[in-house]
Structure 1
Amino acid sequence: MEKLKFWIEAFRLRTLPLALSSAILGSFLAYADGQFNPLVFGLAISTTIFLQILSNLANDFGDSQHGTDNENRLGPLRTVQAGKISKKEMKRLIALFVVLSLISGGLLIFSGIKTANAGMIILFFVLGIASIVAAIKYTVGKNPYGYSGMGDIFVFIFFGLLGVCGTYFLHTNRIDPLLFLPAASVGLLSAGVLNLNNMRDIENDAASGKRTLVVRMGSHKAKIYHASLIILSPLLSLIYVIRTWESVYQLMFLLSVFPLGFHLYEVFKNHVPDKLNNQLKVLALTTFFFSVTYSLGIFLIK
């Protein structure tokens, strides 16, 4: 039972609401167009969960591998570094979640693509493999992209653009360029979560050779960058709503602006990186709240 507790800790289940935001929003944008597939929705949720847990496990393993997880780290327990789970055990579980992601993702693709279009099926399988590789290579290997300041870009693409638009396509088998606006909104908030995480870890990351954007910019510029992510997100979605206006219910997502405003206030007044931990939870849950209220607004007008 004690080992199970550490496995659950390594799964970092508190990160799942953030990861699910793109699948939920993409599905309800499809619902707005009258093309919601419950099977695609369920498989999108399961695939997202498997990929997020895979990413968390790989991150635990990779940061231990590179020495970034050490006694100076400010975040929650990392199981490999703490000796609670061996590297061999972690590799096995990473492999298991790669398989689970492939199975769930494969079923998702075959359930969503309605035509026998080999090219489209191959494209989505390539994107699926890319998602798995991105989940692992953030911290694992000789040249992890998270150690060179590229994490924000990958998060924006996979948690935002691909997560939302890809899910929408698997429901509808078409894409609308306007959808990149709400998709970018989720991507920006997700990048904000990563940026905040890196703001918390700036000192240890710099000492460990992890050159995140925050390490490269410094804390002051990182706060300005953070504000630009948070402010631009609802603005892009507001543009989308104006372009597709049907009902005042579409503005429900603006309820998330209030917690986002308080969040920015707390970030800008902070001078103790360790105290940003609470704001990580706030921003992750607010991103989920943004996605849910956006989706609820769509549901109420249909």
Structure 2
Amino acid sequence: MDKEIIRKNSFKAWLLAARPKTLTGASVPVMIALAMAYTDLQGNGFRIIPAVLCALFAFVMQIDANFVNDYFDFISGKDDEQRLGPARACAMGWIDVAKMKVGIVITTVIACIIGLPLVIYGGVEMILVGALCVVFCFLYTTLLASRGLGDLLVLVFFGIVPVCATYYLQTDTCTWVVFLASLACGLVIDTLLVVNNYRDIDNDRRAGKKTLIVMIGADKGRLLYLWLGIIASLMGVVFAVYGKYWTPLLPTVYLIMHIATYRRMVKIGSGRQLNLVLADTARNMFVYGLTLSLGLLLS
């Protein structure tokens, strides 16, 4: 996408900075949690307002994280001419750095405003959950991702926290089955980070950024990508124990697509073409969330 066709600080520029395709990662945990809650409640007492608020909070926080990542990677010099990933708004000059800072403040405030009413349904501990989400949104880019902790944060904040918190806001409880589902969700979403870091392994090494893929190497990184999806799919078997037979069966569609994407990843090897694998992985994540949720509802 040419710099000239994007008007500076325009709506289109902000839309690109928000990275709409990444909203898959925000929607999947909430989708799964709500499907589990609706199934366990058998539709009785399902709370529409907290369901909508959880979804909106997740979407706005994802956009906020994208703005934070765009801004701090640019001012730290990580977004340069050697970047292989999709274009970034600050680096391309689509958005002024000063305006991006304002955008970060606005999205952070909006997320807090959306999340605050959840105190009514989940108690004051929801303030702590929201605060942790905001704090680690900043710490991820500024500190922890460069120390090999990015994958752990994805597991926690795209798996355990959103799934368990959303389910709790519907049922006032959380079970070990929900916790296992949250882990599986986190593993699936981590495949997106793995392929992203796999693509950038050489640039990250030059920049001194110690991602998990830099630490274990490209070969093991590919295997990690493969096994994250396989293990997440196998974890669905726990639902069959409770008679929800469709739940582990439907995500088989995801597993087939995931393995096909892994083979494409191996074939490409390295370079900018891995962005195609990134797009396929985002699609696969959504398929996982959709099929798992559908399996829960059918059961």
Give me the TM-score of the superposition, normalised by structure 2: 0.92
Equivalence for 1:292: 290
**Distance between the aligned counterparts of 2:207 and 2:170, measured in 1?**
44
1:21 to 25, 28, 33: 28
Counterparts of 1:179-194 in structure 2, within 5 Å, are 179-194=178-193
Q: 1:179 Cα deviation (Å)?
A: 1.3
Equivalence for 2:3: none
When residues 72 and 234 of structure 1 are mapped into structure 2, their CA distance, relative to the original with a 3 A threshold, is same
Q: 1:170 Cα deviation (Å)?
A: 0.6
**Distance between the aligned counterparts of 1:29 and 1:65, measured in 2?**
42
Equivalence for 1:204: 203
Per-residue displacement from partner, 1:108-162 (whole Å, max 9, x unpaired)?
332x32xxxxxxx33221111111111122223xxx1111111000001110111
**Distance between the aligned counterparts of 1:199 and 1:44, measured in 2?**
31
1:176 and 2:168 equivalent?
no
Per-residue displacement from partner, 1:207-258 (whole Å, max 9, x unpaired)?
11211111122111111222221211101112x2222114446622222111
RMSD: 1.5
1:72 and 2:82 equivalent?
yes
**Distance between the aligned counterparts of 1:241 and 1:84, measured in 2?**
47
Residue identity matched to 1:29: M
8 Å contact 1:149–1:211 — kept in the other structure? Answer: yes
- SS of the residue 2:252 aligns to: helix
**Distance between the aligned counterparts of 2:68 and 2:112, measured in 1?**
16
Q: Which stretch of the first structure deviates more once superposed, 268-277 or 218-227?
A: 268-277
Give the percent of matched residue pairs that are identical in Structure 1 and Structure 2: 30
| Moved beyond 4 Å, runs of 4+ | none
8 Å contact 1:241–1:251 — kept in the other structure? Answer: no
Equivalence for 1:99: 109
Equivalence for 2:14: 7
Per-residue displacement from partner, 1:30-62 (whole Å, max 9, x unpaired)?
001115211111111100010000000000001
Per-residue displacement from partner, 1:250-300 (whole Å, max 9, x unpaired)?
622222111011012112233223211111111112111111111112222
**Distance between the aligned counterparts of 2:72 and 2:207, measured in 1?**
13
Residue identity matched to 1:72: Q
Count of residue pairs the alignment pairs up: 289
When residues 237 and 109 of structure 1 are mapped into structure 2, their CA distance, relative to the original with a 3 A threshold, is farther
Residue identity matched to 1:251: L
Counterparts of 1:1-302 in structure 2, within 5 Å, are 2=7, 3-34=10-41, 35-110=45-120, 112-113=121-122, 121-140=123-142, 144-238=143-237, 240-248=238-246, 251-301=249-299
Equivalence for 1:118: none
Residue identity matched to 1:187: G
**Distance between the aligned counterparts of 1:287 and 1:38, measured in 2?**
24
Q: 1:91 Cα deviation (Å)?
A: 0.7
Give me the TM-score of the superposition, normalised by structure 1: 0.91
**Distance between the aligned counterparts of 1:243 and 1:101, measured in 2?**
38
Instruction: Give unmatched runs, 5+ long, in structure 1.
Output: 114-120
**Distance between the aligned counterparts of 1:62 and 1:262, measured in 2?**
34
When residues 176 and 202 of structure 1 are mapped into structure 2, their CA distance, relative to the original with a 3 A threshold, is same
8 Å contact 1:192–1:230 — kept in the other structure? Answer: yes
Residue identity matched to 1:283: T
